[in-house]
Chains A and B, each alone.
Chain A
Amino acid sequence: MKKIFTLLGLVSTSLADESISALLEKYEQAGRLEYKTVQEGEGHVILFSKEDLERMQAYTLKDVLKTIKFYHVYSDRYGRYLFNYSLLFSQNVTTVRLFINDHEVSAVSTRTPFSIWDNIPLDNIDHIEIYLGESAIKFGNEYASVLIKLYTKDPSKENVIYTRISKDLKSGYGFSIYDAREVRSNLSYMLMFNISKFDRKSFDSLSRDAQIHYGYLHIDYSNLHLEASYISKDSDIFLGSALDNRLDDGNFEGNHKYISLTTRLLEDKSLKLTVSFDEIKTYTYEKDQNGLLSCIPNPSIIFQTAKVKTLENSSNIFIQKEYTFDNNKLLISGIYKNRRYELKKEGILINTIPLYTKGKADEEYFSLLMQGESKINKNIFFVAGIRYDNYQRPSNFEDIQGFMIKGEFVHKLPKNIYYKIFGGSFFVPTAFIEVANNPNLQVQKNKFITVELEKKYKKSDIILAVGHTSIKDGIYFNPWTLKFQNLQEELSFTFYSIYAKLKISKTGKILLDIFKIDPNKDILPFSSKEGAGLHVFEKIGKFDTYIGIIYRDGYLFDNIEIDDGIDLTVAVKYRLNDKINIGIKGENLLNKALKVPYVGISQIDTYPSIDRKIYITLVSSF
């Protein structure tokens, strides 16, 4: 993974009389997908290149997300991996946007991708861009506190049949196969399938095992990009909403399918048009003799059995026009989404009387964005953007509308020193599930400013960052009342980070990040306030190695002491030849990954989110 400041500067324009090997090296660099996709003006970008993902043996999204500073990956009551700001322990993360290329995958009702996509396989992914902060507004996304973009490999540059078989030391496995190739000069395709079983550690009878089936099709015909995908997930649901934290029985089944068409029109390809459709189905079954708390329809009802079916669909249009002048760019874009959400719930009360709840809601969302980028001179660059969002909802829900404003200023000083200032004012729309649970919930309003100072050396790079965020009407899930609520008081916090990258050889590097979050009030002791990550990548002969240590500090949760978390991952890959490699990876080897508290009616239980696991993997490409 690496922080990039300017990619364009890496490719020299002087090509005359260069050796053939030097030209090929530059050709490879210039052909890399991230040169075309990374948007420096959209905030603090963390990039995981293809080589990083291969060396980390990162085959699912969680493997990457757990390394991100300021954030933590945790397993929620339903056994799903969620990704959220380190201070927060939300049951419904609505502000993280996950994209596969240009298509966002998030549920309509919960506004989160993680209920189904938390274990998406990464075999066909070229690189991952993670935009921290709230500046990313131009990708056709709604509000994002963090935006994750998974870019698939360019099939015209693959020309391969790839297979991967991974096995852990229990009954978990992963199998992926894809065929990606150029058929002729303007036609290429990728077709991928994956089946995975995640055999996670059980605690007594509490299981969070999951199985997924995933299919992905990608066709590039001239400048038309067609993408279709299907993922289904079948999982145990761990604690579910059992009052006693001991669920008797439960199961989750869900699937999400989408199709997306993108093209770039006009001679200079400056007009981008995307049309897409999504359909998401879920079925959740829970049973507990001691009762289940229910968010819907009324938090006070206690069921013994609950069966919930949801059907969601969304039709989306995104249009974007870019005007380029000498040193300036103007971007205008519009989004329209038409969504429907249906819910059917059968709850059996303690006295065995079934209670049926049905609900249906439509939402229309449209958004207009204008963003300018200007290079005042070769050392000064700034971005300013404004976006209007409007959510039209059924009469029993409040419509939402408002503006988001952002700005970024980059100044290059002598001696390879840069400073960047980001800032903005945003609002976080409520999700259906939140307002159904609490109709009086207000939208959350955020403001932030971040200053970064970067010094580049020949073989290293150091970035110091400090920022401040204030949150008004913060939405949070109260684990004691099982209600979504607005914080009565304004929450603000200051955050600090140090990032260092050191190139230790032609093929090796060390990355270090340290962060600290300092809230103005000690009102959210839900997770760590400090953390660090150390990552070493090296290639030794035919061995690719990666060592990663992720530290998160312990904390006190309602008088429960949560110990410091240390997650040590070691991955070694041996290349038998150009086509076959064998890898072994150990995750949470010290068995000290951070534990997460789960609130029951009479006790709080703590369990680690990341299991101690060993994986063996065989990858072939023909």
Chain B
Amino acid sequence: MNRHIIFVFLFVLNICNNIVKAEPLRSEQEIKIEVKILEKISVDIVKKNPVKVYVIGYNKNYLKKYAKKLLVVENCNEADIIIAKENNEQLKNTCKKKIPGIALNYLLLKENPNFIGALFWYKGRPNLVFISFRLEKFKIKLPKSYGRYIEEKIW
């Protein structure tokens, strides 16, 4: 049993400095396409170029690297759109203005009425959903190609 403990100890020592800021392992191609989807949605919602984006819980460097039509801003009130993965305090405290948001998990879409749509994984497949009454609230009209992704209700 002692040798087991030594192994664990050495292992934890080795990794403890590396995990805190680390990202989950995803391929560059997956990240690149994800950013392209977020870019396309943002442009189609806001209908301007570049779109000013405020980001919460998502790696800004991905957007800076792969999205030419998105401009990441540090002040939420300057943004045209919010891209968020987490419903944290930052969102409540910093965004005084009502800005439409794209959620990266479905729970966030459900809980926050300012989120008009979500891009999330379910049963191993990506899902894109927009909620019609929330789009109307922000007077957003999406191109026809989004028709199949617009739903009346939140599950």
A335 to chain B, nearest CB (A): 13
B54 at the interface (CB under 8 A from A): no
In the complex, what residues of B have CB within 8 A of residue A394's CB? none
Judge whether B29 and A222 touch: CB under 8 Å.
no
A264 at the interface (CB under 8 A from B): yes
Further contacts, 16 of them, CB under 8 A, given A20-B41, A30-B29: A15-B32, A18-B40, A20-B145, A21-B148, A28-B125, A36-B25, A50-B124, A126-B124, A159-B120, A182-B121, A186-B24, A221-B19, A261-B8, A265-B15, A273-B15, A277-B7
CB-based nearest B residue for A31: B30
In the complex, what residues of B have CB within 8 A of residue A156's CB? 24, 121
State the CA gap A11–B36 with chains docked (Å).
Answer: 14
Which of A153, A222, A261 interacts with B22 by CB under 8 Å?
Answer: A222
Which of B23, B26, B122, B128 interacts with A20 by CB under 8 Å?
Answer: B128
In the complex, what residues of A have CB within 8 A of residue B24's CB? 156, 185-186, 188, 220, 222-223
B109-130 contact mask (Cβ, 8 Å, vs A): 1 or 0: 0000000000011111110100
Which of A24, A31, A184, A220 interacts with B128 by CB under 8 Å?
Answer: A24
CB-based nearest B residue for A264: B25
Q: Which of A144-171 contact B (CB under 8 A)?
A: 153-154, 156-160
B1-18 contact mask (Cβ, 8 Å, vs A): 1 or 0: 001100110110011001
In the complex, what residues of B have CB within 8 A of residue A13's CB? 29
What number of B residues sit within 8 Å (CB to CB) of A? 46
State the CA gap A39–B41 with chains docked (Å).
Answer: 35
B102 to chain A, nearest CB (A): 13
B26-66 contact mask (Cβ, 8 Å, vs A): 1 or 0: 11011011101100110010000000000001100000000
Judge whether B58 and A317 touch: CB under 8 Å.
no
Judge whether B40 and A20 touch: CB under 8 Å.
yes
A263 at the interface (CB under 8 A from B): yes
In the complex, what residues of B have CB within 8 A of residue A352's CB? none
Report 12 cross-chain contacts, Cβ distance below 8 Å, ordered by A residue.
A20-B146, A24-B126, A27-B126, A31-B26, A126-B124, A158-B122, A184-B85, A185-B57, A223-B18, A223-B19, A261-B15, A621-B123
A176 to chain B, nearest CB (A): 15
- In this complex, the member of B121, B122, B145 whose beta carbon has the largest number of chain A beta carbons within 10 angstroms is B121
In the complex, what residues of B have CB within 8 A of residue A265's CB? 14-15, 18
Judge whether A158 and B23 touch: CB under 8 Å.
no
Judge whether B25 and A275 touch: CB under 8 Å.
no
A423 to chain B, nearest CB (A): 31
In order of increasing CB-CB distance, the 3 nearest A-B pairs are: A157-B121, A222-B22, A223-B22
CB-based nearest A residue for B32: A15
Which of B7, B10, B19, B123 interacts with A263 by CB under 8 Å?
Answer: B19
Which of A15, A159, A182, A275 interacts with B36 by CB under 8 Å?
Answer: A15
CB-based nearest A residue for B44: A20
A269 at the interface (CB under 8 A from B): yes
CB-based nearest A residue for B148: A21
Judge whether A26 and B25 touch: CB under 8 Å.
no
State the CA gap A27–B40 with chains docked (Å).
Answer: 13
In the complex, what residues of B have CB within 8 A of residue A263's CB? 14-15, 18-19
How many A-B pairs fall under 8 Å by CB? 128
CB-based nearest B residue for A154: B124
State the CA gap A15–B10 with chains docked (Å).
Answer: 45
CB-based nearest A residue for B128: A24
In the complex, what residues of B have CB within 8 A of residue A31's CB? 26, 30, 121, 126
A19 at the interface (CB under 8 A from B): yes
A211 at the interface (CB under 8 A from B): no
State the CA gap A462–B32 with chains docked (Å).
Answer: 33
Judge whether A19 and B19 touch: CB under 8 Å.
no
A224 at the interface (CB under 8 A from B): yes
A123-140 contact mask (Cβ, 8 Å, vs B): 1 or 0: 000100000000000000
CB-based nearest A residue for B125: A28
B85-124 contact mask (Cβ, 8 Å, vs A): 1 or 0: 1100000000000000000011000000000000011111
B138 at the interface (CB under 8 A from A): no
A3-25 contact mask (Cβ, 8 Å, vs B): 1 or 0: 00000000101010011110110
CB-based nearest B residue for A269: B25
A338 at the interface (CB under 8 A from B): yes
B154 at the interface (CB under 8 A from A): no
Contacts A23-B40, A159-B121, A185-B57 known; A315 to B3 CB distance under 8 Å?
A: yes
In the complex, what residues of B have CB within 8 A of residue A621's CB? 123
Judge whether B37 and A27 touch: CB under 8 Å.
yes
A221 to chain B, nearest CB (A): 7
In the complex, what residues of A have CB within 8 A of residue B27's CB? 30, 35-36
In the complex, what residues of B have CB within 8 A of residue A315's CB? 3-4, 7
Contacts A20-B149, A27-B33 known; A153 to B124 CB distance under 8 Å?
A: yes
Judge whether A317 and B122 touch: CB under 8 Å.
no
In the complex, what residues of B have CB within 8 A of residue A19's CB? 145
